[in-house]
């Protein structure tokens, strides 16, 4: 901005950058200009090589505005120009002179006495003052130093001397001078040892912390900047060691569930139950329930232990199973590798059933002179007297002649022995025999489904209440 004195008044001019105008249009634009900041509204505009002038009416930005009237010169782009702008003092003086001219013109046509003239006559002039017309129709004097924007410390001048750029902030240095600081992406503002602004890196976690709107005491923040529930906090090595020590204490009690990802290895038995019915539950590797063992399982009675498997599974024992009590089931069978095709087939046999606790014996014997005695203990590799102690109501089935046509029959069983007779006293044929009996031992008499006196099976029973 330059200065010029014309007819006793100071004028300022501004010619930074270039101007573009369009013939017949009020609008104009600039490049590298700061018209609005410099207060160029009302300025007289002279465009180089245009042969026309105009006055600035309004400014929308530092680089755009409108003339008072349409531009009468040619269309020019990025042309040199000059904006002449009276200083604040000159502008006020011109305004007052214009008002005085209006007053003088009115005096020429006024009555002999004029209030404005009387008011002016009452003012006492002074150096460096201007006449100011007040809203109530009176006048006063104003010092020229009081007109315009006051900048006694030069702060506005310091701002005016700066060149603005996108995304900046301003700071004063140790001498109070203004300086611009350009902002960078994804940085946080801090101060260095000299209290000057500096920009530091701000990572994902830092941005997440600054952007955090709300949280609770039941949450914590992970390294990825997300809020997590405290219930998901990992256990430190030290804490886990302490917990292990607690769990190893003799007689340690856990009031809640105990979950393990490894095996549980009881060294001296595993107790379950007490407050509730003791049970052990089983899940597959998909965490799906498959079965359980426990008190009242599958029985409904608090003094029994049952096994339960869901409909898609079964209980499998790869080796022998010994049961000192009885085994009761819906059916009994065996399943083995097929004797003639062990790699491709299984062989399944079902057990025969009867309404009695039956046992069977069979074998062969050769007749001598039409007679043969069968010792059931010896024929079955049993100790003497075993058959008689084990069975009751034994009956021999009709023997079968394996070699000839001689008719054969069996006599009564006495003390575990019976005799086979042929109708031919010279017969020496081999004969097969078959004996069936019911158990009469003390164990069968203690079975809950048998008569305790006779040991005979009681096949029908009323259902028990659960």
Q: Which of 104-108, 130-134, 303-307 has the least mean pLDDT?
A: 104-108
pLDDT, one tens digit per residue, over 46-56 is 998 888 889 99
Tokens 């164990």 — which residue? 443
Mean pLDDT of the chain: 80
Residue 374 has pLDDT above 60, yes or no: yes
pLDDT, one tens digit per residue, over 82-101 is 998 765 444 544 555 555 65
Helices (H), 77-174: 88-108, 115-121, 155-161
CA-based nearest residue to 370, from 399, 408, 414, 398: 408
Q: Which of 33-42, 85-94, 143-152 has the least mean pLDDT?
A: 85-94
Tokens 């006055």 — which residue? 55
Residue 157 has pLDDT above 60, yes or no: yes
| Per-residue pLDDT, 188 | 80
Q: What tokens does 408 get?
A: 């054969």
Mean of the pLDDT values across residues 280-309? 74
Contacts of 292 (CB under 8 A, 6+ apart): 279, 280, 281, 282, 307, 308
pLDDT, one tens digit per residue, over 298-330 is 666 566 777 777 756 666 767 777 777 777 777
| Per-residue pLDDT, 9 | 38
Class of domain 2-86: mainly beta
Q: Spell out the domain ranges in the chain.
A: 2-86, 91-146, 155-204, 275-318, 358-445
Which pTM was predicted?
0.43
pLDDT confidence bin for 114, thresholds 50/70/90:
low
Distances (CA, A) of 293 to 273, 278, 303, 305: 12, 9, 13, 7
d(CA 430, CA 399): 10
| Secondary structure (H, E, C), 353-399 | CCCCCEEEEEEEEECECCEEEEEHHHHCCCCCCHHHHHEEEEEECCC
Residue 176 has pLDDT above 90, yes or no: no
Identify the DSSP state of 351. P
Distances (CA, A) of 195 to 177, 184, 200, 296: 14, 19, 14, 79
Q: Residues 374, 419: contact at Cβ < 8 Å?
A: yes
| Per-residue pLDDT, 4 | 44
Tokens 């465009």 — which residue? 47
Percent of the chain surpassing pLDDT 70: 73
d(CA 258, CA 324): 34
Q: Residues 420, 379: contact at Cβ < 8 Å?
A: no
| Per-residue pLDDT, 88 | 45
Q: Residues 356, 437: contact at Cβ < 8 Å?
A: no
Q: Which of 154-168, 174-188, 449-463 has the least mean pLDDT?
A: 154-168
| Per-residue pLDDT, 138 | 74
pLDDT, one tens digit per residue, over 388-437 is 999 999 999 999 999 999 999 999 999 999 999 999 999 999 999 999 99
Residue 183 has pLDDT above 50, yes or no: yes
């Amino acid at each position: 901005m330059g200065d010029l004195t014309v007819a006793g008044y100071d004028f300022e001019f501004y010619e930074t950058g270039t101007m573009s105008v369009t013939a017949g249009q009020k609008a104009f634009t600039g490049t590298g200009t700061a018209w609005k900041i410099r207060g160029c509204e009302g300025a007289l505009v002279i465009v180089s090589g245009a042969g026309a002038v105009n006055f600035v009416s309004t400014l929308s930005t530092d680089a755009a505005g409108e003339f008072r009237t349409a531009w009468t010169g040619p269309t020019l782009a990025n042309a040199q120009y000059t904006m002449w702008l009276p200083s604040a003092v000159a502008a006020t003086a011109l305004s007052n002179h214009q008002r005085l001219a209006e007053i003088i013109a009115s005096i020429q046509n006024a009555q002999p006495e004029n209030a404005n003239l009387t008011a002016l006559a009452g003012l006492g002039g002074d150096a460096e003052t201007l006449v100011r017309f007040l809203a109530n129709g009176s006048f006063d004097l104003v010092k020229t130093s009081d007109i315009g924007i006051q900048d006694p410390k030069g702060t506005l001048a310091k701002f005016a001397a700066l060149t603005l750029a996108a995304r900046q902030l301003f700071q004063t240095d140790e001498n109070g001078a203004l300086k611009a600081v350009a902002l960078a992406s994804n940085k946080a503002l801090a101060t260095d040892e000299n209290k000057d602004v500096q920009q530091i890196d701000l990572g994902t976690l830092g941005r997440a912390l600054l952007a955090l709107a709300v949280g609770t005491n039941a949450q914590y923040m992970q390294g990825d900047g997300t809020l997590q529930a405290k219930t998901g906090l990992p256990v430190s090595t030290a804490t886990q060691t302490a917990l292990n020590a607690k769990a190893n204490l003799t007689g340690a009690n856990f009031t809640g569930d105990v979950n393990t990802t490894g095996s549980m290895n009881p060294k001296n038995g595993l107790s379950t139950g007490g407050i509730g019915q003791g049970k052990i539950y089983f899940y597959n590797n998909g965490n799906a329930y498959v079965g359980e063992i426990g008190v009242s399982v599958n029985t409904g009675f608090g003094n029994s232990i049952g096994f339960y498997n869901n409909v898609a599974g079964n209980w499998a024992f790869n080796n022998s199973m010994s049961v000192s009590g009885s085994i009761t089931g819906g059916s009994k069978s065996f399943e083995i590798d097929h004797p003639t095709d062990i790699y491709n087939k299984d062989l399944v046999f079902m057990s025969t059933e009867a309404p009695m606790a039956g046992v069977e014996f069979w074998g062969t014997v050769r007749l001598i002179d039409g007679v043969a005695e069968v010792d059931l203990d010896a024929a079955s590799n049993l100790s003497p007297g075993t058959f008689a102690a084990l069975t009751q109501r034994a009956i021999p089935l009709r023997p079968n002649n394996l070699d000839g046509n001689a008719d054969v029959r069996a006599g009564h069983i006495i003390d575990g022995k019976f005799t086979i007779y042929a109708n031919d006293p010279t017969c020496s044929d081999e004969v097969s025999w078959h004996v069936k009996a019911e158990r009469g031992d003390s164990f069968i008499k203690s079975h809950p489904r048998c008569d305790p006196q006779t040991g005979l099976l009681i096949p029908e029973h009323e259902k028990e209440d659960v």
